[in-house]
């Protein structure tokens, strides 16, 4: 197929694209993110660029039919925003649902069985959960020389009489390595916090703009895009890629291996949660705006392409209604934790979005200062 060169100015970035590629796709390839509030359907006018010799065009509608020089005005660029990443209260007591048991070299051999792990633990153990078929534990794959660590998970009911799920067998003694990633999956931004599941300490906080933004600024545009052929898969793949980037950055900041991250827990609005796990979202875009499901989603992280521990799971918190999502569930949970916590941590305020939360915090701080007679900024 015939290719043409598009040069983006003033960046001086050049890409070769096949005939018929839209300018916004060419910009994607050149690493230039343009605003696209309408999801690239040509109605918002935010992706306007200037084509040499022709003038203003909409990048989402203009198709490349020759070599071009394209100037991208500042107003059309999507700039990465400053994302709030710091919070108080780092380091809370943790009660992980994971148990690691070390079996010394002499006792662990290629013939190691689930029954043997159960005997050592003194509790019934079953092979990995039904939803985690992709992480079937190969009991005989490890050498016994330096011993092994069995990784088990409590059942969701956390009932100590219920059998544990065996989700992994690791070479050597890895008991000190037990991590989880908490994710705030926003329509605009995604924030991930890497936790040590034993101490409760936050080891790293990382954030990124939600890459789905190129398919529309808002939830409704994303729902619309998911209706295109392969649109849902595209939205899912860009967000899982972003989660992998965040996981890898957080682990490298903290100096830990992603292979020791066993839990990825996601809170977000209903649409973001559905798109992440590949559920249909069409019903969220039309009255009466029902969600496909309000249930918590518990998946093998590997089945979604998340590069954590082989037996890791990914949980999307339950939703409340089509447009009252798991972020609200997370607030309800935080409020309950606030009630249980010692000291004066006993209030949770709900804000409909991240930017509103920051605005609310600034207003509260101003009000508190004014009450103390310390006005001004
Ligand atoms: S008009 Fe091009 S993205 Fe909206």
Question: And the tokens for 113?
Answer: 């069985």
Residues 87, 44 contacting (CB under 8 angstroms): no
Please compute the mean of the pLDDT values over residues 333-360 and round it to a whole number: 69
pLDDT at 361 over 90: no
Q: Which residue lies with its CA nearest to atom 1 of ligand 1?
A: 42
Ligand 1 interacting residues, C-beta cut-off 6 A: 36-38, 40, 42-47, 58, 60
pLDDT of residue 135: 46
Please compute the mean of the pLDDT values over residues 24-35 and round it to a whole number: 88
Please write the tens of the pLDDT for every residue from 230-249: 899 999 999 999 999 999 99
Distance 38 CA to ligand 1 centre (A): 6
Question: How far is Cα 258 from Cα 159, in angstroms, rounded to an integer?
Answer: 28
> Which range, 38-47, 164-173, 186-195, is most confident?
186-195
pLDDT of residue 89: 47
pLDDT at 308 over 80: yes
pLDDT at 170 over 90: no
Distance between alpha carbon 107 and the CA centroid of its chain, in Å? 39
| CA dist 311 → 84, 273, 318 (Å) | 31, 21, 22
The residues with which 152 forms a beta bridge, in sequence order, are 99, 166
pLDDT of residue 54: 95
| CA dist 153 → 146, 264, 311, 354 (Å) | 23, 14, 10, 33
Which of 23, 27, 28, 45 should be mutated for ligand 1, with most atoms under 8 A from CB?
A: 45
Tokens 């052929």, residue?
229
Q: How confident is the model at residue 219 (pLDDT cuts 50, 70, 90)?
A: confident
Distance 69 CA to ligand 1 centre (A): 19
Residue 61 CA, closest ligand 1 atom number: 2
Q: Mapped to the 3 state alphabet, what secondary structure does the chain carry? A: CCEEEEEEECCCEEEEEECCCEHHHHHHHCCCCECCCCCCCCCCCCCEEEECCCEEEECCCCECCCCEEEECCHHHECCCCCCCCCCCCCCCCCCCCEEEEEECCCCCCCCCCHHHHHHHHCCCEEECCHHHHHHCCCCCCCCCCCCEEEEEECCCCCCCCCCEEEEEEEECCCCCCCEEEEEEECCCEEEEEEEECCCCCEEEEEEEECHHHHHCCCHHHHHHHHCCCCHHHHHHHHHHHHHHHHHHHHHHHHCCCHHHEEEEEEEECHHHHHHHHCCCCHHHHCCCCCCCCCCCEEEEHHHHCCCCCCCCEEEECCCCECCECHHHHHHHHHHHHHHHCCCCCCCCCCCCCHHHHHHHHHHHHHHHHHHCCCCCC
- Which candidate, 6, 63, 56, places its Cα nearest to that of 30? 6
Residues 94, 139 contacting (CB under 8 angstroms): no
Please compute the mean of the pLDDT values over residues 318-323 and round it to a whole number: 80
Please write the tens of the pLDDT for every residue from 193-210: 999 999 889 999 998 889
| Strand order, beta sheet including 202-209 | 202-209, 189-196, 179-185, 261-268, 313-316, 297-300
The residues with which 264 forms a beta bridge, in sequence order, are 181, 314
Question: How far is Cα 316 from Cα 298, in angstroms, rounded to an integer?
Answer: 7
Residue 60 CA, closest ligand 1 atom number: 2
Q: How confident is the model at residue 190 (pLDDT cuts 50, 70, 90)?
A: very high
Please compute the mean of the pLDDT values over residues 80-90 and round it to a whole number: 53
Distance 237 CA to ligand 1 centre (A): 22
Q: Is 204 left (phi over 0), alpha (psi -120 to 50) or beta?
A: beta
Q: How confident is the model at residue 179 (pLDDT cuts 50, 70, 90)?
A: very high
The domains of the chain, with CATH numbers, are: 3-76 (3.10.20.30), 98-171 (no CATH), 179-336 (3.30.420.480), 347-377 (no CATH)
Higher pLDDT, 377 or 154: 154
Residues 176, 92 contacting (CB under 8 angstroms): no
Question: How far is Cα 59 from Cα 16, in angstroms, rounded to an integer?
Answer: 16
Please compute the mean of the pLDDT values over residues 109-131 and round it to a whole number: 72
Distance 330 CA to ligand 1 centre (A): 34
Higher pLDDT, 327 or 54: 54
Please compute the mean of the pLDDT values over residues 242-268 and round it to a whole number: 95
Please compute the mean of the pLDDT values over residues 185-193 and round it to a whole number: 90
pLDDT at 131 over 60: no
């Amino acid at each position: 197929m015939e290719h043409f060169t598009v040069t983006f100015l003033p960046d001086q970035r050049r890409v070769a694209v096949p005939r018929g590629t839209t300018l916004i796709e060419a910009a994607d390839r050149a690493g230039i993110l343009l605003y696209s509030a309408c999801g690239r359907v040509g109605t918002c006018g935010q992706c306007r660029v200037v084509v040499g010799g022709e003038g203003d065009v909409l990048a989402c509608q203009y198709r490349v039919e020759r070599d071009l020089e394209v100037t991208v005005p500042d107003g059309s660029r999507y700039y990465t925003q400053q994302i709030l990443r710091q919070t108080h209260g780092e380091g809370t007591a943790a009660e992980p649902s994971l148990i690691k048991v070390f079996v010394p070299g002499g006792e662990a051999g290629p013939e190691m069985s689930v029954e043997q792990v159960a005997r050592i633990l003194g509790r019934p153990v079953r092979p990995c959960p039904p939803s985690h078929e992709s992480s079937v534990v190969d009991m005989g794959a490890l050498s016994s020389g330096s011993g092994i660590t069995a990784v088990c998970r409590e059942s969701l009911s956390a009932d100590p009489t219920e059998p544990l799920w065996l989700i992994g067998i690791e070479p050597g003694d890895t008991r000190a390595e037990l991590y989880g990633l908490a994710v705030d999956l926003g329509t605009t931004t995604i924030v991930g916090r890497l936790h040590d599941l034993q101490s409760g300490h936050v080891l790293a906080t990382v954030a990124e703009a939600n890459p789905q933004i190129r398919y529309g600024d808002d939830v409704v545009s994303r729902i619309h895009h998911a209706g295109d052929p392969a649109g849902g898969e595209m939205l899912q793949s860009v967000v899982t890629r972003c989660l992998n980037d965040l996981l890898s950055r957080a682990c490298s900041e903290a100096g830990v291996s992603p292979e020791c991250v066993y839990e990825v827990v996601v809170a977000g609005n209903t649409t973001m949660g559905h798109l992440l796990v590949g559920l249909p979202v069409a019903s969220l875009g039309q009255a009466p705006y029902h969600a496909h499901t309000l249930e918590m989603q518990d998946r093998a992280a590997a089945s979604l392409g998340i590069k954590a521990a082989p037996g890791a799971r990914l949980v999307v918190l339950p939703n409340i209604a089509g447009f009252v999502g798991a972020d609200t569930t997370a607030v309800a949970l935080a409020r309950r934790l606030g009630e249980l916590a010692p000291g004066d941590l006993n209030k949770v305020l709900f804000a409909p979005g991240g930017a509103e939360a920051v605005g609310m915090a600034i207003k509260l701080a101003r009000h508190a200062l004014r009450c103390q007679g310390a006005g001004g900024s």
